[in-house]
Structure 1
Amino acid sequence: MVTLPLLLALAGCATPGDSAPHGHLAEAAPLATRLSQGDAPWPQERWWTALGDAQLDRLIDTALAEAPSLQVAEARLRQAQAQADAYGANRQPSAEIGLDATRQRYTETGAIPPPLAGSTRTSGRLAVDFAYDLDFWNRNRSLFQSALSRQQAAAAEAQGARLILAAALARAYGDLERLSALQDVARDQLAQRQRLLELQQRLLAAGLVAESDTALAESQAAAARQEVQALAEQLTLQGHTLAALAGQGPDFAASLQRPALQLGSTALPSVLPADLLGRRPDLVAARWRVEAARGGSTAAKAEFYPNVNLLAFIGYSSIGLGNLLKSASGIAGLVPAISLPLFDGGRRRANLEGAHADEDLALAQYNQTLVEAVRDVADQAASLQSLAGQARESNLALSQAGRARNLARQRFAAGLASEGAALTAETPWLERRRAEADLRQRQLAARIGLIKALGGGYGAALLPAAATQNTNDNTHAQPQQTALRSNEQ
């Protein structure tokens, strides 16, 4: 008679059904055979020192120590660590001590015999209660592993925030150098336009040119003055940008000296797509997010199985506080408890579906991050190679424009050319200097972009196991989490 109700109850238990994740981890190897080829080393942790500007070194060091954006990332990391500690505590036995005192009147018509029946007494209980979840189905363990994975993801994201900030500051510093160079060109152009204006005014006074030629020269001189003023404004704003990136106020910009960056070599390392998996913080963080979601799925599935707890207590209990601490009032007990879900209106199954959707989302985000990482490296490598060729042609063009300017000056000094021709010959040279400043900034941005795309010297000390495991196997390998705290310090 007992077996039939038990079987009926088990038949009506909440079950997970056929819910399963649908995504899978993309493999890096098929995305490209080789992203770049070369014998250059991978970026070092303090990669910006290779740019040879001590002021930039100080700026980035200040930013990494004081920038509010990094403080946000560090706070998120501490939050993830606290959550992992909390889930870890759930795997340990717990103990609480409690003291209860109850003043009550006992019923005269119940099962309580005289002399308690009808009397008012104070009962007390002083005991230590123990509880331990045996976690047969690894629910708590999965939640703990999921929290550890989120902690690892937060640690990688914190490193990613440092890389993003350093790269942004180096690019902004390069923009400051470009604006400084353009300001030099604008001042030289203003001097040229002013001399042309003075020449036109002398020629007009001598009746050798039309007034319209002088008006055009005045317009060009005014435009040159406006460009000098505009560049002065841009330099001020760029200084404010650098100060903000370094976590400083606008007044900090006044202390900045003119940049003196060294582009150095544009050689590339030999890069395979799989090389990026442990070197880019965003990829490492996305991979740990996948493990965190898998842990959530495992924990959600464990909700369908019986929950077995072990409860125990030891202490004193008595009617009448005066008897509470007497040896005769001692109590002790061991209470195994098991609970099995029967009907919940589909709540557990919905939670499991949601956990699998979270896992698919994390997988899709990882795959997208991997594809974008591979494209990022390929783009920056292609830009650097192209810019190297452009730089050679630009240097030649600048050299020849400077030679033509010098020859025109020599011809004017020898009386073989007019002053106007000599001044006009400076225009191509000024234009090439402007193009050279822009090209130099593009080279610097591409170099910084490649360094950032290659992870900026980051190397994950810990990676999830089974990095290419397909989730369709329904086997969620737990990541290795050893030496977690030490790797973050």
Structure 2
Amino acid sequence: MKRSFLLALTTPLVFTLAACAPQHPTITAIKTQPVAAGVNAHLNRADWPKSAWWKDYNDPLLNSLVAKALGDAPDMAIARQRITLAEAQAKAAMAADGPEIDFSADVERQKMSAEGLMGPFALTDPAAGTTGPWYTNGTFGLTAGWDLDLWGKNRDRVAARIGKVNAQKAELEQTRQLLATSVARLYWEWQTQAAIYGVLSDIRQEQNNIISADKQLYQHGIASSVQGVETDIDAGKTEERMADAAGKMKAIEARLQALTNTASVTLTRRELPAVEASLPTTLGYELLARRPDLQEARWYIEASMNDVDAARAAFYPDVNLMAFLQQDALHLSDLFRHSAQQMGVTGGFTLPIFDSGRLNAQLDIAQAQNNLSVADYNKAVVDAVNQVARTASEVETLTRKSQQHQRVERDAARVVALAQARFSAGLIAGSRVSEAKIPALQEKIAGLTLKEQYLDATLQLTSALGGGYRQG
């Protein structure tokens, strides 16, 4: 009896599933590359760099600029609104998976046709309960429905929406890191130009000393006018460089105003941070996996995979439960009587059998979107690996060059000290001390440029490693 009962119960289900529209997807799924899989295996295991890495510079002005950019920049506002939209769409998908109860009420005034099916009601016959041809019909009550989602189609759609919410959160963090990096790079570039401007002012002062001394020598017939002209030309070039540095500083201030969404930015001079080797001993996948753009791409893959599952579930039958409890009467005076009550329960069953290929087309679209997400992710990982390798190599190279240039600056300083000693001993004129100082100051400018390049490279490396992002 049990076997016969099970056979009788399962046979209709087997035939039902066999009658479903056939699946014949034409697009093959692709996989993540090995290097991408390596990144996935090390998500959220690193402690460097820190999330608020810009605070390590201990610069209150830089901190305030970054905070202003992260709070008021239009890009951040757009990213936040995308999260809000994705969350609302996820809530809508969740609500679609649950039962629904509605209350409705309506009143209708209608005239019955004497020639139609309801013709007897067009007559006036109180004994028969007809007062035609006009009636005021009233209805009110509750209706309920529930899609049982036996195959998980709605649940997959909810999971896809949640994946997109997580992707938008990662996009917000990516925007945050890009803004913070841009502000920090511009800030230290301004500090470099300000420092160069100061050194150029010192060079201009020394050149003025030389020009003054040459004029005195020329007036006494000791020197020719050619030497004075050459010094004047050099002074003119220095003034050009000062004007160029001042122009760059103004341009940087304008860009910072745009990034921080403020009317004006007031910057003050401070020393550039020292060049030091602060990188980890290895730059492995555990650091690369901290990049929010890779996290974003990975969540889009998850979402698209759930869309594929939902597209597959659409091939199977839908089962819906519906019920109603209403009061319905042809006369409003009878609407609240017990005899006017009506109720019912309906079990709906929808089976796709032939749809001219629509479901297969939707499945192909979902699979193609998933493949596109995987391909984008693979490319993003490869680009990230190359970016980290390039920027890390640049940081190491600039570290060595800066250390070597420090020795050059020390040697130039010794030349200046020797000239100063000879001047103090009365062996040379003061203008010769200025001539010795100018090359040393030029080397100082070269050192500032190298230091700024090093700072910029470290900032790019921090950004390439995700800026300490951790998935929330």
Shift of 1:335: 1.2
CA distance in 1, matches of 2:284, 2:95: 39
Alignment-derived partner of residue 302 in structure 1: 313
Shift of 1:329: 0.9
**Cα pair 1:53 1:260 within 8 Å, conserved:** no
- Which residues of 2 match residues 380-395 of structure 1 at below 5 A? 380-395=391-406
Q: Does 1:454 align with 2:465?
A: yes
**Cα pair 1:52 1:261 within 8 Å, conserved:** no
Alignment-derived partner of residue 468 in structure 1: none
Q: Does 1:73 align with 2:60?
A: no
Q: Tell me the matched-pair count.
A: 446
Alignment-derived partner of residue 336 in structure 1: 347
Corresponding residue SS for 2:181: helix
Once the two structures are superposed, what CA deviation does each residue of 1:106-155 show, in whole Å capped at 9, x if it has no partner?
A: 23333336345662212222121111111122211111100000000111
Q: Does 1:409 align with 2:416?
A: no
**Cα pair 2:111 2:133 within 8 Å, conserved:** yes
Alignment-derived partner of residue 330 in structure 2: 319
Once the two structures are superposed, what CA deviation does each residue of 1:412-451 show, in whole Å capped at 9, x if it has no partner?
A: 3434345554333223212211111111112212222222
Q: Does 1:22 align with 2:36?
A: no
**Cα pair 1:53 1:261 within 8 Å, conserved:** no
CA distance in 2, matches of 1:271, 1:101: 77
Unaligned runs of 5+ in 2: 1-13, 40-45, 124-131
Alignment-derived partner of residue 203 in structure 2: 189
Shift of 1:170: 1.2
Unaligned runs of 5+ in 1: 1-6, 33-39, 462-489
Q: Does 1:370 align with 2:381?
A: yes
Once the two structures are superposed, what CA deviation does each residue of 1:163-205 show, in whole Å capped at 9, x if it has no partner?
A: 1111111111111110111011110111122222223323333
Alignment-derived partner of residue 172 in structure 1: 186
Corresponding residue SS for 2:467: coil
Query: Which of 41, 48, 52 is matched with 1:42 structurally?
Result: 48
Of 410-419 and 140-149, the range deviating more from structure 2: 410-419
Corresponding residue SS for 2:427: coil
CA distance in 2, matches of 1:367, 1:240: 37
CA distance in 2, matches of 1:197, 1:346: 89
- Which residues of 2 match residues 68-467 of structure 1 at below 5 A? 68-112=74-118, 114-116=120-122, 119-250=133-264, 253-254=265-266, 256-263=267-274, 265-271=276-282, 273-276=284-287, 278-419=289-430, 421-461=432-472
Greater helix proportion = 2
CA distance in 1, matches of 2:284, 2:421: 57
Distance 1:319 1:327, change over 3 A: same
Task: Report the AA paired with residue 68 of structure 1.
Answer: P
CA RMSD after TM alignment: 2.7
Corresponding residue SS for 1:135: coil
Once the two structures are superposed, what CA deviation does each residue of 1:248-301 show, in whole Å capped at 9, x if it has no partner?
A: 112xx23x2223453474322254643146522111111001011111222222
Corresponding residue SS for 1:183: helix
Corresponding residue SS for 2:26: coil
CA distance in 2, matches of 1:29, 1:108: 76
CA distance in 2, matches of 1:260, 1:412: 31
Corresponding residue SS for 1:111: coil
Shift of 1:385: 2.1
Once the two structures are superposed, what CA deviation does each residue of 1:31-78 show, in whole Å capped at 9, x if it has no partner?
A: 79xxxxxxx951222221211212212222232222222111111111
Give % identity: 30
Shift of 1:12: 8.8
Q: How does the TM-score come out when normalised to structure 2?
A: 0.87
- Which residues of 2 match residues 55-70 of structure 1 at below 5 A? 55-70=61-76
Distance 1:124 1:273, change over 3 A: farther
Once the two structures are superposed, what CA deviation does each residue of 1:321-371 show, in whole Å capped at 9, x if it has no partner?
A: 221121111111111112233444433322222211111111011111212
Corresponding residue SS for 1:325: coil
**Cα pair 2:20 2:316 within 8 Å, conserved:** no
Task: Report the AA paired with residue 218 of structure 1.
Answer: D
Corresponding residue SS for 2:143: strand
Of 437-446 and 229-238, the range deviating more from structure 2: 229-238
